[in-house]
Each structure stands twice: as C-alpha cells, then as structure tokens.
C-alpha cells in the first residue's frame, strides 16, 4: 500500500473543477507518460440474499442515486481545510455512484425485512419510492499528511407512489477514520462507512415503508 501525502495528490484548479498537472520529481519537468493507476472498489463483491420474502413485502423503487460533480465518476476526493485534490494513481474500478447503488441494493437484499428494493432495471410495480442524494463523499485531512477520515452524507426521501409525495425525509452522515494514511486503508474506511450508512438507510426505510405504501 502506498502512503498518501499532499505531494501525491492532484490539486483541483478553480472552485473544485479540473485537475492540475503533476510536476515530476527532480527537474520539475512534466511527465510525458501517464502515472500508473491502481483500481479499488468498496461494497460487497456479491449479494447477500437470505431467502424468499413474505407476500406482504412493500416494493420500494430506487431512483438513480445522485452524487456531486466533484465526486462522481472514478476519482477519489481528498480535502484539507479549503484545499481539495484527487488521490493520484488511485481510481474506483467503476463510477462511485454505480458502486454505491450496488452496495445499497445488496444491503436491502441482505436483510430479512418487509421491504424489497426494486432496482432501476426492474419493471415491477412499486408501492413506494426511495430517492437518495449523496451530498458528501470525501477523504478529510485535519492537516497535510495526517491520518484522514472518510465522511459520507446523504439526503433520503421516501415517497408515496404514484404521486411521489414525500412521506418521510432524513439526512444521514457517517464519519469513518482510516487506520493509516495509505490508499488501501482509506479505501477500507470507505467500505466501512458505506456499510454503516446503508444500515441506517435500510432501518429508516423499514420503519416508514408501510406508511408510504398506504399514503397513495
């Protein structure tokens, strides 16, 4: 695992848009070949479905999950005070929003509950709808070179269908310290943080799904 330092981060230019070119060690000459990139993922590798659901299951459709532009895609954002940068040489194996959607769907399928989450590819009629917007998905440093904390925040709304009126709304936030200032440890913190966030969302949906289904 490679340690992370501010020199190994690609700084954002402007108000969180674009990435500055990294200067080569030694003569400050620009690299003519791209740096090697290591791919990482978070979330379970496969589903954890535990058996058949009850006929009384509430069918909840999941809308496409939205991420802020600065953390959508495959780059991993790090923030120190007012400075933001992307981890150099590290990318998610797929877009962060895709990996997160898979992890949330798996969290629902892993629980014995009265809720079944309907993914975007399914045409099943929904009793209720779930909107999840990720508002924060970043690695935070208190000072350059410190051991960072992964912070993930989400705003969720449970909707009555088909009118899509909001029945319940909740803001969730999770902070997960990494064990070290290394990319592998940071990725592990993302994995733990998303699992924690998903458990909270699943419990909240379970507590409110029947009310949403009865509100249409």
Asked, for residue 39, whether it belongs to a domain, the answer is no
* Domain carrying residue 148: 44-74+93-214
Per-residue model confidence as pLDDT tens digits over 11-40: 554 443 333 323 233 333 334 445 678 999
Question: Domain for residue 110, yes or no?
Answer: yes
Residue 157 lies in a domain: yes
Does the residue 134 lie in any domain?
A: yes
Q: Is the pLDDT confidence value at 54 over 70?
A: no
Check whether 126 has a pLDDT greater than 70.
Answer: yes
- Please report which confidence band the pLDDT of residue 70 belongs to, taking 50, 70 and 90 as the band edges: very high
Structural domain count, the chain = 1
Query: What's the mean pLDDT in 111-139?
Result: 83
Structural domain includes residue 115: yes
Residue 56 lies in a domain: yes
At 163 the pLDDT is: 77
For residue 29, is it within any domain?
A: no
Whole-number Cα distances in Å, 120 to 30, 61, 81, 115, 199: 43, 7, 37, 16, 20
Q: Is residue 86 in a domain? A: no
Domain containing 145 — which CATH number? 3.40.50.10610
């Amino acid at each position: 695992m490679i340690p992370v330092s501010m020199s190994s981060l690609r700084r954002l230019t402007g108000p969180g848009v674009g990435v500055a070119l990294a200067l080569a060690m030694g003569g400050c000459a620009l690299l003519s070949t791209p740096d090697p990139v290591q791919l990482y993922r978070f979330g379970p590798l496969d589903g954890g479905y535990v058996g058949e659901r009850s006929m009384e299951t509430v069918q909840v459709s999941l809308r496409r999950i939205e991420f802020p532009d600065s953390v959508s895609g495959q780059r991993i954002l790090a923030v120190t005070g007012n400075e933001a940068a992307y981890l150099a040489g590290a990318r998610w194996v797929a877009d962060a929003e895709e990996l997160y959607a898979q992890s949330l769907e798996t969290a629902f399928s892993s629980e014995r509950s009265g809720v079944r989450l309907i993914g975007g590819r399914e045409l099943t009629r929904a009793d209720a709808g779930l909107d999840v917007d990720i508002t924060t998905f970043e690695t935070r440093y208190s000072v350059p070179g410190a051991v960072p904390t992964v912070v993930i925040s989400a705003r969720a709304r449970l909707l009555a269908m088909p009118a899509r009126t909001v029945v319940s709304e909740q803001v969730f936030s999770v902070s997960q310290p990494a064990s070290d200032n290394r990319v592998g440890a940071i990725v592990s913190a993302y994995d733990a943080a998303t699992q924690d966030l998903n458990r909270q969302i699943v419990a909240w949906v379970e507590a409110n799904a029947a009310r949403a289904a009865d509100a249409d």
